[in-house]
Structure 1
Amino acid sequence: MKSVIVKARPLRCEIIDVPIPEPGPDEVLIKVIYCASNPRDWKAPDHLVPGVEINQGNEMSGVIEIVGSNVYEFRKGDRVAAAHPMQTENGTYAEYSTAPVNTCFLLPPNISFEEACTIPFALCTAAIGFYQRLKIPFPTSPESSRVQTPLIIYGGSSSIGAFTLKLAKMGRFEKIIVVCGSGRPYIESFGVITDFVDYRDCNVVHDLKAALGGKRCFHAVDAIMDGNSFGHLSEVLAPEGARIAVYLPRLDYSCIPASISVAITFFGTVHGQATPISNEVFEEDVDFAYAFFRLVGRWIAEGKMSGHPYEVLPRGLLSVEDGLRMLKEGKVSAKKLIYRVADTPTLEPEYFF
């Protein structure tokens, strides 16, 4: 089968032929219909894990081909979306990919493969930060009916930011304040945001304080990590007991006062991987993901959850390099870049779905 290897310095991709992988006991083998790009896919070989050249894809939708020996809830032919473990073989930029069942969910009939492809990696990452790190009450908890203090999301139109907003819509907050720019029209449509702060006005701290209106804020999500974002947030959060969810473990957060908890969120913990640098293992995240992904399918069917806006790039897997370059150059806003594997010119005719 065809598989895309992502290389760096300069950024480039190579399509190679590899054997179709075998799923592990707790995995499924998926015939990939659509795969999606995330910023980490170019950052990993460039500077996060330099020198490692593998298939960096982590997000997909498709049809189950084989189930592992311990798998009892999925069957061959099921329509699914799934997240593949980071920095492991058999990534999603390929004709077939594997995924653990705890990050795989059945697609209800009201969602397309295209939209479903935008969900698994980003939504799960947002959920870990929101529920597991910030300790926001989960929708099934009796505490979820209690009004929470204001929530600030920096980078609301990013995929993690937008999915955090969709999760926040299931809770209750005094205020939901979003820092964003050109992506405002998209997230404004959610009908949950009380205040907007435009970072392009260069008055983020002042405008955040004005939006808070004297209320204390204990919860913030930095979904953009632009170098100034978490510093700005630390200036407006309550001086004691506040938490910031951040998503890049390798950044220097020393500018954040020690009284504010830096809740480092790393997607790999749902697959038992340790957080880089701090080497923390959050075993509870594995079961959290299992339960969460079962609810995701139901939420989609009920209209409580939806995917992210997307653009399908032409030429299937041949366009992965173009997509990663667009992400690296900052040319993507408020949408996900996805690829229809069957559009790859070099595939054999029998692949087409």
Structure 2
Amino acid sequence: MRDRRAPSRLPTRLSRLTSRRRRPLAVLWLLLLVVAGWQAAPLPGLLSGGGWYVPDSGSAVAAERLTDGFDGRGATSLTLVIEDTRHRAGDPAFEARVRGAAEAVLGDDTLRASGGYGYTTLTGDRARAAFLGDDDRTALVRVGSELDDGTARRLLPGIQDRLSRQYEPQGLRVSLVSQAALWGEVNHLSERGLILAELVTLPLILLVLLLLFRSVAAALAALLVGVSSVVFALAVLALVARHTELSVFVQNAATMLGLGVGVDYSLFMIMRFKSELPAGGGPLSREDRERALARTLRTSGETVVASGITIVAAMSTLFLVDLSVIQSMALGVVVVVAFSVLTSVL
């Protein structure tokens, strides 16, 4: 005959382990958190801004063919726009300044230019006129780069910032214009917005938790669950990103959902644990804490696990979408929710 008490053995054993070995487990947890943070630090540099093409689709084939068969085009095509606010075309200073800026950009090691065609490469006023703005101050050069689309979207915002800082004091506005540059800047602004959102929301979350629990320890524990889930998830994603393409949006998905789900699950656990403690406010024995923790794991713990499995199963269906950016976000959600369940239960 089946022992009906069997399902309760795991929560009881786990409650005894976490109660009697809480200090070593806390030290181990903090050490793992530090290692995970170190592992997750390079993640932004490993992510790709691409992933928007469905493999073997018409758009993917067209984009691939555009990179071949055109002299100097490269994997990514850009337009270098140079505006001289101090001189006009025909002035020797204009020619020298524009040519110097164009050669510097084409020689940039980070851009990996494969060639250029435009105002600075042509001779004759008629040929160059097609690459000169109506204001006689703006020159255009078509630039081919060996950077793939995803890498270009990740690196171009940094290259643009560097060019702006270098040439604007000289009265030159040097810009790299392309679809990759546009979406790269969108991704860059998204990352900056995510950082700002974290700086704003974390203190607000802590304030709400303090008002809810009336306990600094409980509030910090709930916040630590969310932060730990995100850090561990980003560490795993950094390992994956070293071997396969992951979109920059995986970081946004993991961070935003990880904080929300982690704090939410910790609320279930902590509130249930407090309700299971003996009334009276007197000193608690180890048995009281273990009993309350075991009951918490059997009730709210099972709820958290069931909820996490449901989210993971639902988000896993997005892996059926043959689009890297969608699969990346799904992976971020699956990993961070799994760690949220683990941290909440432990």
**Which structure: greater strand fraction?**
1
- TM surpasses 0.5: no
TM-score interval (norm. to shorter): under 0.3
Of structures 1 and 2, the one scoring higher in RCO (CA 8 A, sep 6+) is 2
Larger Rg: 2
| TM-score, with structure 2 as normaliser | 0.22
